[in-house]
Structure 1
Amino acid sequence: MPKVLITDNIASEGIELLQKNVPTDIKRGLTPEELVDIIGDYDALVVRSETKVTSPVIEAGRNLKVVARAGIGVDNIDLDAATRAGIAVVNAPIGNTVAAAEHTLALMLSLARNVPQAYASMKEGQWQRSAFMGIEVRNKTLGIIGLGRVGSEVARRASSFGMRLIAFDPFVAPDFAARLGVTTMTLDELLPQADFITLHTPLTPGTTKMINKEQLAKMKPGARLINVARGELVDEDALLQALENEQLAGVALDVFTNEPPGDLPLLRHPRLMATPHLGASTQEAQREVAIEAAEQVIAVLNGQPARNTVNAPFVPPEVHAILAPYVPVASMVGRLLTNMARGQFIGVTLRYQGEIATHNTAILKAAALVGLLSPVSGEVVNMINAPVLAQQRGLQITEQTSSDGLEYASLISATLHTTGDDITIAGTSLRDEPHLVRVNDYWMDVAPSTPYLLFVDNQDQPGTIGAVGTVAGRRNINISFMEVGRIAPRGQAMMVLGVDDPISADALDEIMALPQIDNARVVAM
């Protein structure tokens, strides 16, 4: 009979659900050594954030089939070690969605009516009605940055306040946003229009300090900013400066770059309202995430798939050997599409040509969606949950097959449809390595073996390659390889350069300023 071990505090409803279905032990406060000593006796481990599920724990868990986190984050679990050991890692990303959305609205209303300041004044025995004149949220514009689970719930609730809703999230379909009563736009369009701005994006290299000095300067004077997502999304020094120069009327933060934030000068500003990461701190949310985690543990122990598996599964043994080399090809194609696209996502058309088209391509579709969504999702995206996440974002997925593989035995191509220009990427597998063979109308052969790829749209004329190489050399950017695709001699062309070093925004601007260059984009591989 399988056994479950719980080592952290989770809500009683989750514990009771487990106990009704499987023998369950509760042992809180274990040292790492104690956990390693006993974990071999258990088939499942349930934790929150306190227990560190390290590689030694995974190695000692000879019977482990699943590790469950009663919450969304899995930073305390060694995903690589679990994946190598064939152990499913599941989390509970849905249960705290409403709690985070409601906390966002609580902070917004408190900012509008100066609730914390008025409360503090009253506690000091004062009666200062005129000092705390507020504003109504009715007829105000709420700018939602990130229209995922929490952002969508904020939109649904804010609409009942009679607010105008606008959002920046290029990775959701416009139809999905429209059903929420939200108008999508670029970040530069949103910032000067919004009276309130709330952040709900995942933390990625591209979103770190996305609200910085430059973006704060674009906001409507007197706007109010709310962050219940991740502290690293905001430049805290720039935020303090925006409060001091009265660019912003108020700021509400539930999250910080460092938690606890310590002696942070920002906290002492009178128009800064702060709470200690309470977004998910409701009785209901804790109950929901405990039940969500318990349900998935029971599913895995019963041999069923869990809906929120966060570590990449192994390729199922029943998948034909012909398809296996094309899983990384599909993922590469999806990742390149996301990094090179411009405009709001609408949908994607996947095409399978050649020998792979004669097989069930479900795993290739999932792999392509993993590549497409991983760079922009706040959740760990894998081949189990990627189709569901795409559906939640309202993306239209079309698949086409053809036995004609052109000059390749098999070819995967995908066209991302956006409100801007569509983009097409195609790839194949050569010598069991993914190869990029097409970008829009340009055919080429690139094996992405470097950390970064630089795509340069240019005029095919003498000196172009040298000009780009000169900028790279001056900037100490090492070029590993270069490939050129062109429509016709001295016509439009595309250079693809594999580089070993990051390319700064300044370096990219310098390349794009070259007279023969039309555009340049960097993709981190």
Structure 2
Amino acid sequence: MSDERFLSTAPIGQIAIDILSPRAPVEISPSTSHESIVSLMDGTLGLICRAETYIDGRILDAGKNLKVLGRPGVGYDSVDVVAATERGIPLIYAPVGGFAVAEWAMAAMLALAKRIIECNQMVKSDKWSQRYSVELDDMTEKTLGIVGFGRIGQHLARLASPFGMRVVAFDPFVDRKLARSQNVELLELEALLKISDYVSLHPALNDSSRGLIKSEHMQIIKNGAMLINASRGGVVENLEILADALDGGILSGVALDVFPEEPPLHTHRIFEHPMCLCAPHMAGLSKLAMFRILKSMANDMLAVVDGNTPKYCVNPEVLNK
């Protein structure tokens, strides 16, 4: 059909376009709104689902020729997987760029511990004399608690090892033998929070992890710990509990790449705290990570369209139907 296309709900990298366009043109929706996406679904073979738009049954039903969905990354909470599965539409994902998220988490820990942003401003604002007023923290001989020990969590553990850190993890779905093989001790969440100097959150967002970190956990977390969240904003109950913990000195630092609502309200009081380090959900958007992610996703989308088996599919049960 001459009007067949691949549609992306938001701008996508050139490597994906180069892979997909020989099969059918790649069109970028001018808006991330549902109305815009729905209006372009006729003739769409494959839909690239960026995080800005929630892909629900209404959008799927508008694509009469829709054969595949593609999510450029490991998370797919912006897609109604049940609706896609009920309609027999495979959802491709690309769990090949998690190393970049792990690197960001380590960089955030270092930035907070070494007060890099604050020290940078001292030099640039003629406050050199204040250097003795800032206490830098360490990584060596500290304990890193990783919540969610999948690909990203395991990569972070490997990054932490050369720093001489003790690494513990919480993940009810991971085998203890796997953790031990990486010199990581599996603990219950509460036990991990009590002993960790740094807590880094990396679970997938689902019913069991939504709101996993609650206000009561701020009462048991090690005093002065630093908390990093580069998973999904919904893993933490809300920003208020983190702001309260910072203001009360329970947490000495917080680094957030993700938020309960994105973009967050920039006037929230947590952003006024000097030890709150933030990024606009881009920890996984490094050059190499995005190249690998887009290449993997595009190739798997093509495989589905051409009747072949993809490498990474969220709902593989629909492939043979």
TM-score of the alignment, normalized to the shorter chain, above 0.5: yes
Question: SS at the partner of 1:287?
Answer: helix
CA separation in 2, counterparts of 1:209 and 1:67? 27
Higher strand proportion (structure 1 or 2): 1
Of 217, 227, 230, 2:229 maps to 227
User: What is the aligned partner in structure 2 of residue 412 from structure 1?
Assistant: none
| Percent of pairs with identical residues | 34
SS of 1:160's equivalent in the other structure is helix
Q: Which residue of 1 aligns with 2:295?
A: 291
- Where do 1:21-420 residues align within 5 Å? 22-29=23-30, 35-36=37-38, 38-50=40-52, 53-92=55-94, 94-127=95-128, 128-235=130-237, 236-262=239-265, 263-311=267-315, 313-314=317-318
Q: CA deviation at 1:34?
A: 6.0
Q: Quick one: distance in 2 between partners of 1:166 and 1:74?
A: 27
Alpha-carbon distance in structure 2 between the residues aligned to 1:188 and 1:34: 45
Does the CA-based 8 Å contact 1:48-1:71 persist in structure 2? no
Q: Which moved more, 1:57-66 or 1:6-15?
A: 57-66
- How many residues of Structure 1 are paired with residues of Structure 2 in the alignment? 315
**Aligned-residue offset at 1:299:** 0.9
Structure 2: how far apart are the matches of 1:240 and 1:77?
30
Q: Distance in 1 between matches of 2:249 and 2:38?
A: 54
Cα distance in 1 for partners of 2:37, 2:248 equals: 52
CA distance in 2, matches of 1:37, 1:244: 47
Structure 1 residues 288 and 140: CA distance shift in structure 2, 3 A: same
Shift of 1:123: 3.2
- Match of 1:143, SS state, is strand
In the alignment, the residues of structure 2 paired with residue 232 and residue 42 of structure 1 have an alpha-carbon distance, to the nearest angstrom, of 31
- Determine if contact 1:212/1:238 at 8 Å carries over to the other structure: yes
Structure 2 residue identity aligned to 1:100: V
Give the Å deviation of 1:272.
2.1
Q: Return closer, same or farther for 1:62/1:152 CA change in 2, 3 Å cut-off.
A: same
Could you tell me how far 1:112 is from its partner in structure 2? 1.0
Return 5+ residue gaps in structure 2 as ranges.
Answer: none
Contact kept? 1:95, 1:286, Cα under 8 Å: no
If the length of structure 1 is used for normalisation, what is the TM-score?
Answer: 0.55
Cα offsets for 1:85-119 (capped at 9, x unmatched):
32222222x13301110100010001110112222
The range that moved more, 222-231 or 1-10, is 1-10
Secondary structure, in 3 states, of the residue corresponding to 2:88? coil
Name the aligned partner's letter for residue 65 of structure 1: K
- Indicate conservation of the 8 Å contact 2:167/2:185, yes or no: yes
Q: Secondary structure at 2:42's aligned position in 1? A: helix
Counterpart CA distance in 1 for 2:275 and 2:35 is: 47
AA at the equivalent of 2:306? N
CA distance in structure 2 between the partners assigned to 1:125 and 1:219 by the alignment: 37
The answer to whether the 8 Å contact 2:29/2:37 transfers is: no
User: 2:20 touches 2:26 (CA, 8 Å); kept in 1?
Assistant: no
Letter in 1 for 2:314: V
Query: Contact 1:15–1:290 (CA<8 Å) still a contact in 2?
Result: no
Write the distance in 2 (CA, Å) between the matches of 1:167 and 1:78.
Answer: 29
Secondary structure, counterpart of 2:48 in structure 1: strand
Cα pair 1:144 1:167 within 8 Å, conserved: yes
- Counterpart-to-counterpart distance in 2, 1:111 and 1:33: 42
AA in 2 matched with 1:18: L
Closer, same or farther: CA 254–125 of 1 in aligned 2, 3 Å: same
Deviations 1:405-436 (A, max 9, x none): xxxxxxxxxxxxxxxxxxxxxxxxxxxxxxxx
Note the C-alpha offset of 1:53: 4.3
Give, in whole Å, the separation in 2 of the partners of 1:37 and 1:232.
30
312 and 294 in structure 1: CA distance in 2 versus 1, 3 angstrom threshold: closer
Task: Provide, for residues 270-318 of structure 1, a one-character-per-residue CA deviation record: whole Å limited to 9, x for no partner.
Answer: 222222222222222222221121011111122122233224634967x
CA 34–239 in structure 1, closer or farther in 2 if over 3 Å, else same? closer
User: What's the offset of the Cα at 1:52?
Assistant: 5.5
CA RMSD of aligned residues (A): 2.6
The alpha-carbon deviation at position 76 of structure 1 amounts to 4.4
Give distance in 1, aligned partners of 2:153 and 2:69: 28
Q: State how far apart, in whole Å, the 2-side matches of 1:6 and 1:170 are.
A: 37
Structure 2 length as normaliser, TM-score? Answer: 0.87
**Greater C-alpha Rg:** 1
The one-character-per-residue Cα deviations of 1:203-240 (angstroms, maximum 9, x if unpaired) are 34443333333322222222222111122333432322
CA contact under 8 A between 2:77 and 2:205: conserved in structure 1? no
C-alpha separation in 1, matches of 2:86 and 2:116 = 51
Secondary structure of 2:284's match? coil
| 1:383-406 deviation per Cα after TM superposition (whole angstroms, max 9, x unaligned) | xxxxxxxxxxxxxxxxxxxxxxxx
Q: Which has the higher contact order (CA 8 A, sep 6+)?
A: 2
| Higher alpha-carbon deviation: 235-244 or 279-288 | 235-244
Shift of 1:78: 4.4
CA distance in 2, matches of 1:310, 1:304: 16
CA offsets 1:342-372 (integer angstroms, 9 cap, x no match): xxxxxxxxxxxxxxxxxxxxxxxxxxxxxxx
2:7–2:44: 8 Å Cα contact kept in structure 1? no
Q: 1:63 to 1:32 in 2, by over 3 A?
A: same
